[in-house]
C-alpha cells in the first residue's frame, strides 16, 4: 500500500522549526520527506553548507536527532567512521545485536560534486552502509553564489558572470548520479521535491539498501536561481517536463526512469523564469539556448537507451 501524505504528517519531525532557510528554499521540504522514510534511529553527518549553517545558528539547533557537523570535504568519511564504530561495538556486544541504526551524510553540490567527492568515492568503494544525500541547488549558495561543477551550461554565477563578453558558464554540469552508479553500489537515484512520493520511495529504498546508497535531489533555490519564491515547486516540475532533471534510479546496475513527460517541453520554458539565465534571452545569445537544448536532448536520449528493457 502506497504511503499517504497525511500519514507522513503524523511521524515525528527530525528537522523541526527554527531553522533560518530562505523563504521558498527546497531544503526543508526535501529532508522532512527523506527523514520520514525509515523508522530506525538515524545518525547524520552534515557537510558545511546551507543546510548546516541555517539549522545550527548558535545557540539553537533545528535537529531532533543525532547530528554531526563535518567540514565541507569529509561528511562521507565522518559517517563511515561512525558506521564502522557501530559494527565494532556490535561485535563486542556493547550494542544489542538487534539494535538497528541508519547512517546518513548530507551535503550540497559544492560539498559533494566538488570538495567532498574524494571522501564520498572512497567511502562507497569501501562498502560502508550509509545513505548519502546531495541537495543540488547548482551553486555554492552558502558562500556567495560561485559556480560549482553542478552549475548548468549558460547560468550566470559570481565566478562565471554573464556580461558583454560572456554568456555565463560555458561548461556543462557534471553527471554525479551516473558517477556514483558507476561505483556499482546497491542503489543510486535522482529525485525532486516536485514529486514527494517518488522522493519518499527512493529514500526508503536507500535506507533499506545493503550497502552504500546515493540520492541526488534537485534543490530549488530562489536566492541564487533568482525566481519568485512561491513558484519553486512549479519550477522543479518544469525541470522534469523539460527533461533537464530526469527522475531515475539505478538498482544493482539496472537503470529505471521514474517519470517520462507525456509532452517534452522546451528547455527555455524552464530557463525563462530564472534570473540567472536572463542574459540568454538577449540579442546574440540564441546560440547558447540552442546548445543547452541540444545537450538536454542528448542526455535524455542516452538515458532512455540505458534503461533496462524489463522496466519499460
Residue 33 belongs to some domain of the structure: no
| CATH for 73 | 3.40.50.970
Looking at residue 267, what is its pLDDT?
Answer: 98
* pLDDT score recorded for residue 1: 59
How many domains does the chain divide into?
A: 1
**Residue range 88-112, pLDDT digits in tens:** 999 999 999 999 999 999 999 999 9
Q: What is the pLDDT of residue 310?
A: 61
For position 120, what pLDDT does the model report?
98
* Cell reading at 198: 517518488
Q: Model pTM?
A: 0.96
Q: Is 34 within a domain? A: no
Is 19 within a domain? no
**Would you say residue 15 lies in a domain?**
no
Residue numbers in the chain where pLDDT is lower than 50: 311-312
173-226 pLDDT, tens digit each: 999 999 999 999 999 999 999 999 999 999 999 999 999 999 999 999 999 999
Residue 189 lies in a domain: yes
Neighbours of 173 (CB within 10 A): 21
Rounded-to-10 torsion of CA 70, 76, 82, 85: -140
Residue 114 lies in domain: 44-311
H or E element in which residue 21 lies: none
The greatest distance separating any two alpha carbons of the chain, rounded to the nearest whole angstrom, comes to 70
pLDDT of residue 225: 97
- CA 246 to each of CA 42, 264, 305: distance values in angstroms, whole numbers, following the listed order: 28, 11, 14
Residue 204 is predicted with a pLDDT of 97
Residue partners of 305: CB distance under 8 A and separation at least 6: none
28 located within any domain: no
In a domain, 35, yes or no: no
Q: Which ranges of 56-175 does DSSP label H, i.e. alpha helix?
A: 75-91, 109, 117-125
CB 210 within 8 A of CB 123: no
The per-residue pLDDT for 6 is 84
- Bridge partners (DSSP) of residue 136 are 218
> Cell triple for residue 246?
530526469
**Residue 37: inside a domain:** no
Amino acid at each position: 500500500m502506497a504511503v499517504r501524505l497525511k500519514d507522513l504528517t503524523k511521524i515525528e519531525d527530525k528537522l523541526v522549526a527554527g531553522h533560518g532557510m530562505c523563504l521558498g528554499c527546497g531544503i526543508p521540504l526535501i529532508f522532512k520527506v527523506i527523514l520520514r522514510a525509515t523508522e530506525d534511529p538515524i545518525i547524520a553527518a552534515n557537510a558545511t553548507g546551507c543546510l548546516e549553517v541555517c539549522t545550527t545558528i548558535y545557540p539553537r539547533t533545528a535537529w531532533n536527532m543525532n547530528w554531526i557537523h563535518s567540514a565541507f570535504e569529509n561528511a562521507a568519511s565522518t559517517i563511515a567512521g561512525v558506521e564502522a564504530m557501530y559494527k565494532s561495538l556490535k561485535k563486542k556486544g556493547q550494542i544489542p545485536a538487534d539494535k538497528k541504526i541508519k547512517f546518513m551524510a548530507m551535503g550540497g553540490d559544492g560539498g559533494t560534486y566538488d570538495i567532498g567527492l574524494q571522501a564520498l568515492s572512497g567511502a562507497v568503494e569501501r562498502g560502508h552502509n550509509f545513505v548519502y544525500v546531495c541537495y543540488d541547488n547548482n551553486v555554492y549558495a552558502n558562500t556567495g553564489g560561485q559556480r560549482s561543477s553542478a552549475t548548468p551550461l549558460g547560468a550566470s554565477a559570481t565566478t562565471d558572470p554573464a556580461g558583454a563578453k560572456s554568456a555565463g558558464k560555458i561548461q556543462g554540469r557534471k553527471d554525479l548520479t551516473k558517477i556514483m552508479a558507476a561505483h556499482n553500489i546497491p542503489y543510486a537515484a535522482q529525485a525532486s521535491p516536485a514529486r514527494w512520493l517518488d522522493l519518499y520511495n527512493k529514500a526508503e529504498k536507500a535506507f533499506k539498501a545493503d550497502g552504500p546508497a546515493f540520492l541526488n535531489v534537485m534543490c530549488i533555490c530562489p536566492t541564487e536561481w533568482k525566481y519568485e519564491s512561491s513558484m519553486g515547486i512549479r519550477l522543479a516540475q518544469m525541470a522534469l517536463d523539460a527533461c533537464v532533471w530526469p527522475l531515475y534510479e539505478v538498482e544493482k546496475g539496472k537503470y529505471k526512469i521514474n517519470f517520462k513527460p507525456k509532452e517534452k517541453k522546451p528547455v527555455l520554458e524552464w530557463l525563462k523564469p530564472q534570473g540567472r539565465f536572463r542574459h540568454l534571452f538577449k540579442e546574440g545569445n540564441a546560440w547558447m539556448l540552442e546548445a543547452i537544448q541540444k545537450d538536454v536532448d542528448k542526455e535524455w536520449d542516452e538515458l532512455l537507451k540505458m534503461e533496462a528493457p524489463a522496466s519499460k
